[in-house]
Chain A
Amino acid sequence: MPRTYAVTSLKGAHVLLTGATGFIGQAVLERLLADHPDTRVSLLLRGRGGCGGRDRLVRLLRKDVFRRWHERPGGDDELADAARRVQVVEGDLESVTGLPDDLDTVIHCASAVTFDPPIDEAFGSNVAGAVRLCEQLARQPVPPHLVYVSTAYVSAPGHGTVREEPLRHTVDWRQELAASQTVRAEVERDSRRPEVLRRLLREADRAHAPCGNQVVAGHAEEARRAWVARRLVAYGRARANALGWTDVYTCTKALAERATEESWAGRPLTVLRPAIVESALHHPYPGWIDGHKMLDPLIIDYGTGAMWDLPGDPDAVLDVIPADLVVNAILAAAAATPPADAPHYFHVGSGAGNPLTYGAFHDHLDAYFTRHPLPDPSGRGHLRHARWRFQSPARVRTALDLADRVVAAAGSALEWLPGGERVQERDRALRHRRGELARQRHYFEVYQPYTGAQGRYDDRELMALHRSLPPELAAERGFDARGLDWRGYLEEVHCPAVTRRLRDAMGSRGAAAGRGRAAPRALPPAGDVAAVFDLDGTVVAADMVESYLWARLGSGSLPGHAAELLDLARAVPRYLRAERADRAAFVRAFLRRYQGADAAALRNLVRDALADALLRRVLPEAVRRAREHRAAGHRTVLVTGSLDLLVEPLRPLFDDIVACRMESRGGVLSGRLVAPPVVGEARAAWLREYAREHGLSLRRSYAYADSYSDRPFLASVGRPCAVNPDLRLYRYAARRHWPVVRWGAHAGTRWEALTETVRAGDASTATRSYA
């Protein structure tokens, strides 16, 4: 038999609310302000990002949950009046101090709600936080009524009925809490073991070697931190599983219940366990939701077709409950103070009285997206979703493993292709697919316990509480989900609410796709700004090998250089490997090919034949950009690993050219460079020095380059731009939101430049013989 409850009123009460910025917390606050005009409210709010607790309240009052207030005439003033009843206590659960001493009720909503946080954070927020709150509240002259908002899933929904009573387990929360707080130090220590560091360094070197040691070391350290985070998550999940919970969230919530029961023993306590909380049914308005909750990413991925199946039992109960019913239940429970020795326990869900099966949930999604498909982001029609087949977990896991391998192999293969627009498009698609697969795996691992649950959460106590509401309030402030029409709620309220923002974003992306690329921004005039251009691939479409061929073929007949060309062809794989590993070493090795060349003859050849080959391969957009920079008063600089003799034709475009200079003995090039080539990491260092020397602001300067080895160089200015980037630079630029441009629509082809050079070289040779 359920108990009998006396729901009084919160009139005149002083309520402390924790977690007011969270999904449930903000709805509770709104309801307290809207329906309980005589209730004083205190919020435990911590400052964040330079914003104090009071500022956070101001921001909170601007959120959608208060939309109805803002929309109605005079609503803003009413809200401002209501907010005067709210007192902010600056602080958080780690340092709860300064609480008012006349609290009547405490609603504890604050919690870490992700399923797989690192173990120390999960225990710290959920268990230690609850304990500290109880310790602080224990100092109150009159112990307030503590309403602890937990989750129904603290009891694994296996088979049978879960009653509204204390949890049955013998886990020592103190021991688990203490152990969780030592894990981080242990994992940090492990992460610094030489074998782990060597492996991380090796992996970073493989991926980022062309960028230099600093970048490689930075990536290795980043990977170490990620490794620590992953380990802490793995520790949490493994410990939760070992103790009988599905994940660390439910485990810590369960232990927090026990910790609260013990810490608040002999004082009034209510434990309220909502199930899967989703958008509001009526209040503050139908469909209100703050961000994406548990089911929502899954709903969206279903609509986009990214989620092609999720194992589960179609007959299993998915215990969904609208947020406003949960809020009503919390406030009703808060107004029904239990005796000090007999805490109240409530399950707030729908599974007992109005179960929504997993199969029916899927059918509603299917019906909704069939009628309202999501727009295609490219602006071409709509996306198609796939009906789930509820395959076995083993089958889905196999399919996911296979898909992961295929995507990884395709990603690696792409890195060997030249970084054209099509390759970048494929890479974008692969990255998108990789994200989808990762999410799918996440759903698969996290949701499986919920989509296979055969049991149900008893709600007889909750119904008794509902029945004890004053009749005139039952309709508006009730929380009985038995009358809930799932089709209406899911298809007309929840799914539209969840997909609204996505539809807006996709619509605008589609429209943007139709408009094409935005015009380049005008350059602000400035005297202390540099625009630094890389040469190969950025200003000209050619590379060092191609310009070497021009020099060779332009200076005489082909047969004379056949052996040389054959040797070059044989060396190409070696050069390619060298370039991937160390750009500077490659430059030095390649430029040695000019050893023995007559410097004066080479200079003449550049003037007579190579200059036009260079201009034939020049990217007109680069020239235009350099000229725009110059018109804006910027200092234009060309920096390259090529020989200075070869880039002479571009001198009028730039204030400075930094290129390799080769030793010359008696007018013959020695093959040795006078100074190390300014490439890779050295280029960034050179630029810093150059800026210092010329009084330039690097933060306002521009850099243009095409290769991943230029990453440190690009990163050293405030306005980097990736030009026709190779795949790795493209990926990095996309991650850093750097502009990526495709230049060279009108540049001549390799073949045209080469044949024209040979012809010009012939004419030049003939000319010299006649002159």
Chain B
Amino acid sequence: MSRPGLVLEVDERTPPLLVCEGEGFRLEQLPHGARVVYPPACLPGIRDLDAAITRALHQPHGSDPLPALLRPGMRLTIVFDDLSLPLPPMRSPDIRQRIIEHVLELAAAHRVDDVELIAANALHRRMTPAELRHVVGDRVFRSFFPRHLRNHDAEDQENLLHLGQTGHGEDVEINRRAAESDLIVYVNITLVAMNGGSKSVSVGLASYRSLRHHHNVDTLRGSRSFNDPARSAMHHSYDRMQDLIGGQVRVFTIETALNNDAFPQPLGFLSKREWEWNAADQAAFIGARRGSRLLSPALRRRAFHRVAAPWGVTSVAAGAPSAVHPITLRHVHRQQVTPVSGQADVGVFGVPYLCPYNVNSVMNPILVASMGLGYLFNMYLNKPIVRRGGVGIFYHPLPNEFHTVHHPSYLDFYEDVLTQSTDPAVVESKFEEQFATDPWYVHLYRRSYAYHGVHPFYMWYWCAHAREHLGDVIFVGADPAVASRLGFRAASTLADALQLASHTVGGSPEITYLHAPPLTLADVS
């Protein structure tokens, strides 16, 4: 039994606490009385993963064992989560590789020849051959790439299939090969409670026509939070779509949950509580901080993106999506949930260097906003850690940087859309269609390694709930011009940020800092 999560109240004995700010971190002395939410200590990973996988495939939930579903001459499509999971990427061998190899061995044993592997990248950028090789392993890559191992193409109209509409009028259009398969085996990593379940196939293999029904301002504002599927309008839509898909094609899902072992040594201090740092952790912190300051931005980014996490797998469960996902969620909660009593006036969040959409890339200002106000703010069950009308204080330098290959539409969104409005609803109604159907973005999405033209809009909608909930948003250490473009304010220090916040929440606010990493899901009562 590992130690449960902790809500620390800062007092005179509390050391300065680690706060992430992009490709750097600082030790911040929070005001006395501030609360800091830590997740439960890192759970042990499963030691014999191969056995666990075999067991999961042979003893599934809500489904026949996988071998019973395989037969000669069938069309089998193995779909797997793309490079947006996990964060940081998993050290080789990736858990998806292990599972896929098991599935392929079973398929071979049952003389299934028509096998295709598809990365469920939806409107994300295509994975490069090197990235695919990392996820599926060298052996699978050599055997299947490029003709039978590929990225999902959400703009390849000939290879999409419209399966119908849900009872709510939502179009369901997914990858034709998958839809016309006898069996889809979905290999998932559930890093946070939002992942997995109905989302896997209905989002990962979908097109813009389908995705726009749940990736919109209205749905996102009604998802409180999107890490709490029962209270998430977005997940309700996923469920409806999955029901429709499940009625037409059999889906056998294999879900995995991870522990919090997100950083290898010497970055292990990032996953520890500060007062438990030993001399080596302290030396590693100083070295990492000084070292990263000495490097040029490009080299620093490269160094950070080379980090591969040791991640332990805490659960492997297979079977019908609806039966498997609750089990996976239980394991995710076991690792991440910390009960928190009451909401604060001010929520503090450190935004790290990585989000699902800048793996091997640049974390541009829109992704920073999405990571802070989308992902981190939504790391709650029941209620946000900050009260309605309170202030969100985020740490990130917000440099005006973009990756021209990966995020071309982001740059145009930043220059052409945000200069006209930052209101998600206005942005959605005025510009979304134009970006989503722009032939140049479509070309880059299909032929290059660009995120889809509409993707920056989704990232902006991701922030919609937080923007509506918070009275003010302040970024500490940010480029003021960039913060202003995003509709936020910039402060140079926490003290300045609290001074700015005092106009909204008074001079003695209650403060809660959601400590991340490791990932923490606050269960606010």
Contact = CB atoms under 8 A, between A and B. Distances in A.
Interface of A: 611-612, 615-618, 620, 623-624, 627, 649, 652-653, 745-749, 751-752, 759-760, 763-764, 766-767, 770-771
17 contacts: A615-B405, A616-B404, A616-B405, A617-B404, A620-B402, A623-B408, A624-B416, A653-B440, A746-B402, A746-B403, A746-B404, A748-B404, A763-B130, A767-B146, A770-B141, A770-B145, A771-B145
Interface string B306-345: 0000000000000000000000000000000000000000
B128 A760 contact: yes
Grouping DSSP codes into helix (H, G, I), strand (E, B) and loop, the A interface class, with mixed when no group exceeds half, is: helix
Nearest to B442: A652
Interface stretch (B202-210, B280-288, B444-452): B444-452
Contacts of A766: 129
Contact of A611 (B416, B440, B448): B448
Contact of A764 (B129, B402, B415, B448): B129
B482 to A, nearest CB: 12
A157 to B, nearest CB: 60
Contacts of B133: 763
Contact of A612 (B142, B416, B448): B448
A767 B145 contact: yes
Contact of A624 (B145, B415, B449): B415
B401 interface: yes
B400 interface: yes
Given A615-B405, A620-B402, A759-B130, A652 B440 contact: yes
B147 interface: yes
B412 interface: yes
Contacts of B444: 615
User: What 3 A-B pairs come out closest when comparing CB atoms?
Assistant: A763-B129, A746-B402, A652-B443
Tell me the dominant secondary structure on chain B's binding face: helix
B411 interface: yes
Contacts of A652: 439-440, 443
B447 A611 contact: yes
Contacts of B298: 749, 751-752
Contacts of B408: 615, 620, 623
A627 B440 CA distance: 9
Contacts of B146: 767, 771
Contacts, number: 62
B440 A746 contact: no
A770 B142 contact: yes
A612 B440 contact: no
Interface string B397-422: 00011111100100110011000000
Contacts of A760: 128-129
A767 B404 contact: no
B129 A746 contact: no
B411 A746 contact: yes
B466 to A, nearest CB: 26
Given A749-B298, A770-B142, 4 more contacts: A627-B440, A652-B443, A763-B130, A771-B146
A612 B129 contact: no
Interface of B: 128-130, 133, 141-142, 145-147, 298, 400-405, 408, 411-412, 415-416, 439-440, 443-444, 447-449
A360 B513 CA distance: 71
Nearest to B141: A770
A653 B146 CA distance: 28
Nearest to A766: B129
B357 to A, nearest CB: 16
Contacts of A611: 447-448
Nearest to A621: B415
A555 B263 CA distance: 36
Contacts of B141: 770
Contacts of B449: 612
A749 B443 CA distance: 23
Contact of B401 (A627, A649, A746, A771): A746
Nearest to B450: A615
Nearest to B133: A763
B415 to A, nearest CB: 7
Contacts of A653: 440
Contacts of A752: 298
Contacts of B440: 623, 627, 652-653
A652 B146 CA distance: 25
A131 B147 CA distance: 97
A770 B298 CA distance: 33
B270 to A, nearest CB: 26
Nearest to A651: B443
A623 B402 CA distance: 14
A618 B404 contact: yes
Contacts of B416: 624
Contacts of B403: 746, 748
Contacts of B147: 771
Nearest to A630: B440
Contacts of A764: 129
A745 B400 contact: yes
A246 to B, nearest CB: 57
A322 B405 CA distance: 68
A746 B408 CA distance: 10
Nearest to A616: B405
A558 B7 CA distance: 55
A528 to B, nearest CB: 23
Nearest to A618: B404
Nearest to A607: B447
A771 B147 CA distance: 8
Nearest to A771: B146
A183 B444 CA distance: 69
B402 A763 contact: no
A624 B404 CA distance: 12
Contacts of A620: 402, 404, 408, 411-412
A759 to B, nearest CB: 6
B405 A748 contact: yes
A316 B416 CA distance: 65
Contacts of B129: 760, 763-764, 766-767
Contacts of A745: 400
A766 B138 CA distance: 11
Contact of A615 (B128, B400, B404): B404
A745 B481 CA distance: 15
A623 B145 CA distance: 32
A743 to B, nearest CB: 12
B50 to A, nearest CB: 26
B12 to A, nearest CB: 46
Central interface residue in A611, A653, A770, by most chain B CB within 10 Å: A770
A748 B298 CA distance: 10
Nearest to A611: B448
Nearest to A619: B404
B434 to A, nearest CB: 10
A771 B448 CA distance: 20
B407 to A, nearest CB: 9
Nearest to B438: A627
Contacts of A747: 404
A764 B130 CA distance: 10
B431 to A, nearest CB: 13
Contacts of A770: 141-142, 145
A168 B147 CA distance: 105
A652 B438 CA distance: 11
A763 B146 CA distance: 11
A611 B145 CA distance: 20
A723 to B, nearest CB: 16
Nearest to A760: B128
B480 to A, nearest CB: 13
A766 B443 CA distance: 25
A212 B383 CA distance: 72
Nearest to A768: B146
A698 B149 CA distance: 50
Given A652-B439, A652-B440, A612 B145 contact: no
